[in-house]
Amino acid sequence: MKNKPQQIQIKDYNYQLPEERIAKFPLPVRDESKLLIYKQGQITEDRFHNLANFLPKDSLMIFNNTKVIQARLRLQKETGATIEIFCLEPASPTDYNLNFQSKEEVSWYCMIGNLKKWKEGTLKQSLVLKGEKVTLSATRGEAHETGHRVNFHWDNSNFTFTDILEAFGELPIPPYLNRKTEETDKVTYQTVYSKIKGSVAAPTAGLHFTPRVLDSIRKSEIAIEEITLHVGAGTFRPVKSDEIGKHEMHTEYFTVRREVIEKLIQYKGQAIAVGTTSVRTLESLYHIGVFLQDHPNASEDELAINQWQAYEQQHKLTALESLHNILTYLTVHQLDRLNTHTRIIIAPGYEYQLVKAMITNFHQPQSTLLLLVSAFVKEDNWKKIYDFALNHDFRFLSYGDSSLLIP
């Protein structure tokens, strides 16, 4: 495109989404959801349980196995005011696993509701957990670009922070559902293959998968691999600037095992991505491999992809060359996995490198996720897809229906 992606006007990615088209709850059977199939300009529809019939043969599918944590805590001041603390990202220890296994205290960067009423002091709440009393305390730390730092302490070392969140916390369903979390969300707002705790929002394209769909995919001789990207609350952050160049993308942490890199190489650097989180991880991998071309001894933190890096890098490597750079890096540094983070923004003008097909839900108007889809299907084809979905009774957003996109 002639203009830089930074100059894209977000108003050009708007559409009318009636409130009644937003799915407030999932279907009773996950894989009975509708599936829109966009293949080389043609649009058809089916049911999700027939997905395997439409996938390119001899393909590799990449799933995000992150698990949503009960990240929303409601604690009370002595005055009775309720303060809502939404845990976004670990501050200390910064490693998710170490943080969740801590037995006395941790710190997180958080969004705080009713912040004005919590100028100082410690919030406390007590519960009986597995027959033992536990008191959780929270104190406010400094403000940070990710949110306010909150220090948590609990007085019973028999319990980990995972235990604390599961006892005191609430699953944070998306704000646009305009309802309270219900007990059923603890199951329905997790993918059936979720394993690694850390997300504050589900990778919703995965919510349609059931054991029978996964079995049908394997029987179609399509390979399956998993990555982990912890979804941040920033995924819901609206684009408030007219031009997307002024929008600040959120940071998301991801882990890719060496075996996944090897499998991607085996499949010639091409994959079917389940969800935009898998898309962001795979495309970030390509740009990490490009960065390694000139920086083979970079630290994992230095490998993090910034917002506009994909549009600024000088090298033009093939997908395989980039992946081989990562494999070499892992070998030299004796690593069995790559741990880093990304702020990549994928918008029209971006050239996809590893993703050849995508499974994704229907996204909010004027969102960065809609930009990502538009970049994949090119030109104004996203409008044709969304018009079809609106005209054929598809359900939208997190608990809504799904699409398979093959440009």
**Residue 342: which CATH number?**
3.40.1780.10
54 and 79 in one domain? no
- Asked if residue 327 lies in contact with residue 258, where contact means CB atoms within 8 angstroms, the answer is yes
283 and 228 in one domain? yes
Q: Give per-residue pLDDT as tens, 360-369.
A: 999 999 999 9
Cα 59 to chain center, whole Å?
22
Q: Is residue 179 part of a domain?
A: no
122 and 63 in one domain? no
Average pLDDT of the chain is 94
Q: DSSP labels for 343-406?
A: -----TT---SSEEEEEEEPPPTT-HHHHHHHHHH-TTHHHHHHHHHHHTT--BSTTS-EEEEE
Provide the pLDDT for residue 348: 96
111 and 200 in one domain? no
- What CATH number does the domain containing 88 carry? 2.40.10.240
Domain count, the chain: 2
- pLDDT band of 114, cuts 50, 70, 90: confident
82 and 41 in one domain? no
**pLDDT > 50? residue 1:** no
Environment class of residue 200 by beta-carbon count within 10 Å: exposed (0-12), middle (13-18) or buried (19+)? buried
The closest of 107, 98, 173, 180 to 137, measured between CA atoms, is 107
Q: Is residue 178 part of a domain?
A: no
Domain boundary among 143, 170, 197: 170
260: containing domain: 5-67+188-406
pTM score of the predicted model? 0.93
Q: Give per-residue pLDDT as tens, 377-406.
A: 999 999 999 999 999 999 999 999 999 999
Provide the pLDDT for residue 3: 58
